[in-house]
Amino acid sequence: MAMGKSLDTNAMDIGTYMLSEDPRQKRRKIFSPWVVLQFLRGDMYANMVEKAFNFIDSDYDMILFPVYQENSAQPGGDGHWFTIAVHMADKSFQVIDSLRNSDNNELTLKANQVRAKVITLWNKFTSKHKGCQVPLIYKFTLKYIDGYKQFEIHDCSLFTLKAMEYWDGENLPNLMELDELKLRKLVLAEWLHSPVNKLQYKAAFLSKGKGKIAQ
């Protein structure tokens, strides 16, 4: 978690996995950034995407997507992370961006792209389960959430994780008392104390990779 750099996709994947294992998040489905990158830039019907959308329990309050946008002004440079939350009760795709507003053309294009692909994948996989609580989400509108701004240019990934952790449709965390260093220390401490790091979770977490737990 180096200073002066946004978290990469692997680090964001760890962060979203930690959140998804938090018992307080059980009413929310949090997607891996790798799944989002796959359906935006690769084969949107790949096995990993199908598995992520093919969830039987669709009775969630909110579905959260960490979205990465490439740096169009500097190819190969740091891009930008933001959050899109599908809020079931509000029937909307809520866009939470800590750097840009709804008048930003790149943001609106990306948000509309995510919305269109999520609707397509939801219709193909999620809605076909018997008992799906929300079979149709194509009527859900885009909404842009204002007032959540980062400190520095490289804080977007941390603010994205915090938005996914605390957003309930009305409230976002107040991070104004934290600078970049304090925020990174806070997030790292939360990862270290996550339930994932308890003994009963280690096997499940490590088995996702090729390595094995050392005996």
Inter-residue contact 95 to 107 (CB < 8 Å): yes
Q: Indicate whether 84 belongs to any domain.
A: yes
- Domain range for 121 is 9-206
H or E element in which residue 106 lies? helix 105-124
Inter-residue contact 67 to 81 (CB < 8 Å): yes
pLDDT digits (tens, 9 = 90+) for 7-38: 788 888 988 888 888 777 788 899 999 999 99
pTM across the whole model: 0.81
What whole-number distance in Å separates Cα of residue 160 and Cα of residue 210? 28
Looking at the DSSP bridge assignments, the partners of residue 86 are 63, 93
Inter-residue contact 55 to 126 (CB < 8 Å): yes
State the pLDDT at residue 154: 66
Q: Indicate whether 214 belongs to any domain.
A: no
Q: Indicate whether 215 belongs to any domain.
A: no
**How many folded domains does the chain comprise?**
1
Q: Indicate whether 1 belongs to any domain.
A: no
Highest mean pLDDT among 49-53, 55-59, 157-161: 49-53
Q: Indicate whether 211 belongs to any domain.
A: no
CATH number of the domain within which 102 lies: 3.40.395.10
pLDDT at 161 over 90: no
CA distances from 124 to 28, 41, 47, 114, 120 (A): 21, 18, 13, 15, 6
Q: Indicate whether 4 belongs to any domain.
A: no
